[in-house]
Amino acid sequence: MSKSSVNAAVIGLGNVGSGTLDILAKNRAEIERKLGFPLRVTAVASRAIASKPLPEGLGSDVFTTADWREAVARPDVDIVVELIGGTTVAREVIETAIAAGKSVITANKELMAAAGVDLWKAASDKGVAVAMEASVAGGIPVHDVLREGIASDRIQTLYGILNGTSNYILTEIEKNGSEFGAVLAEAQRLGYAEADPTADVDGFDARSKLALLSALAFGERVPVDHIFTEGIRRITPLDFDYAHRLDNTIRLICSARRSEHGLLLSVRPSLIPRSTILASVQGAYNAVWIRGEFGQDTFYYGRGAGPHPTGVAVVSDLMRVARDLRGGNTGRVSPFSFRELTDHVKTPIEIHKAPYYLRFKVQDQPGIIAKLAAALAEQKISIEAVLQLPSDTPHNLPFVITVEPTTEQSIRQAIASMSDVPFFTEAPLALPMEKGL
């Protein structure tokens, strides 16, 4: 390359777009000290461009437009940064950029989980790069770690806390003893949760992220609907009381693990020991725990979202791609870590084996434990402990049974066989207990 700088167009000026421009403006000198050449933004597109002043320090000659096509088409633009989100226009932006021979950076987990491999193949055919560090766990460089940092390891298990909103809600329930609904309402008021909280609290956002990380960690192309997904709506302060009694806490755990039957994937609230480092992840933080055959345990922690933490991921990707463009080596590393992905064969969650936490709420009467114990025994499930904290609500009495390792299948059958008993005031809640952290 003969020209002196590598140039980017930023498409979308929401939180992440603004954070990205801010970093490029404010950290310009240090970025150039690392790269050895200038990295510049020469075009910015946003539908609201008229009302969005660009940060000082970005340079005065930035082309701004409300029409992303104009920005992408600029001949001085080498890299297009897609930060508008969603899967329709965003996809068009990326495809247009690739067709024009430009490398692409995106923070779009949903699109990349659904179509990332295809977009990457299209980019490879054109000899341009695709990078997506910001798509999972904002401020944690976990893509980079999997692609390069520990690339030589063979990953056995990956655990993640990948949805900051859910983790915030769970840790608020834990700290304050408030009910889910109240905490959610407060989180919405504070702007930590969306008006429609489904993607966060029902696990779908975390599911897209787990699909992407699984591709990077295991080389499998995982359709999101292959991932068993359960949200946090049923978790109560009571469950934390019981979990604490068991020296555990509860988190929305994304997990991917190799098993003899294939890669087993789930997003679900789980009990984890309070002594594990994963249990110390509070509030809106994210974390990823990786166990490799050789490197054993490593753990990565940081902000899951926010304009600046996610902006660091975007601009670090820009630096990476700029270096590769500069060296004429845009295909040096696959954005998915593996150069070919195999199709994931869905492994039924029913085979997953773990100890379980079973929480019941009943209208108190004699013989309840005997009935439940019989249903468990029928599935050859061994009870480890029966716990009942003091309660003044005999008409709606909670108690907990923990059981020794058994399969999800057996737990489901045992619970199904309890369905005709008359004393439940709420359906039993079954949560796996992750002991292997």
What is the C-alpha R_g of the chain?
A: 24
Contact segment (CB under 8 A) with a copy of itself among 50-58, 95-103, 132-140, 164-172 equals 132-140
Our finding on whether 163 is near a copy of itself (CB under 8 A) is: no
What is the per-residue burial (b if ≥16 Cβ within 10 Å, else e) of 334-370? bbbbbeebeebebbebeebebbbbbbbbbeeeeebee
Q: Give how many residues touch a copy of itself by CB under 8 A.
A: 66
* DSSP helix/strand/coil, 342: strand
Binding characters for a copy of itself, 90-129, by CB under 8 A (x = yes): ----------------------------------------
- Residues 424, 362: contact at Cβ < 8 Å? yes
C-alpha 420, offset from chain centre? 38
Contact segment (CB under 8 A) with a copy of itself among 172-180, 236-244, 260-268, 329-337 equals 329-337
Choose between 160 and 203: whose C-beta lies nearer to a copy of itself.
160
Distances (CA, A) of 56 to 32, 62, 366: 17, 11, 73
Which residue of 145, 184, 211, 256 would you call a contact of a copy of itself, by CB under 8 A?
A: 145
Q: How far, in Å, CA of 145 to CA of 288, rounded?
A: 11
Place of tokens 């806390």: 161
- Residues 268, 253: contact at Cβ < 8 Å? yes
- Is 209 known to be catalytic? yes
Contact segment (CB under 8 A) with a copy of itself among 76-84, 228-236, 300-308, 369-377 equals 300-308
C-alpha 267, offset from chain centre? 10
Query: 209, 353, 380, 435: which is the annotated catalytic residue?
Result: 209
Question: What is the closest distance, in whole angstroms, from the C-beta atom of residue 430 to a copy of itself in the complex?
Answer: 29
Our finding on whether 46 is near a copy of itself (CB under 8 A) is: no
- Residues 105, 81: contact at Cβ < 8 Å? yes
Our finding on whether 300 is near a copy of itself (CB under 8 A) is: yes
Token pair recorded at residue 370: 């005997």
Which residue of 339, 377, 419, 435 would you call a contact of a copy of itself, by CB under 8 A?
A: 339
Contact segment (CB under 8 A) with a copy of itself among 167-175, 261-269, 318-326, 351-359 equals 318-326
Report the catalytic residues. 209
Which residues of this chain interact with a copy of itself, rule CB under 8 A? 19, 22-23, 26-27, 30-31, 33-36, 133, 139-141, 144-145, 148-154, 219, 277, 280-281, 292-303, 306, 308-309, 311-316, 318-320, 323-324, 326-329, 331-334, 337-340
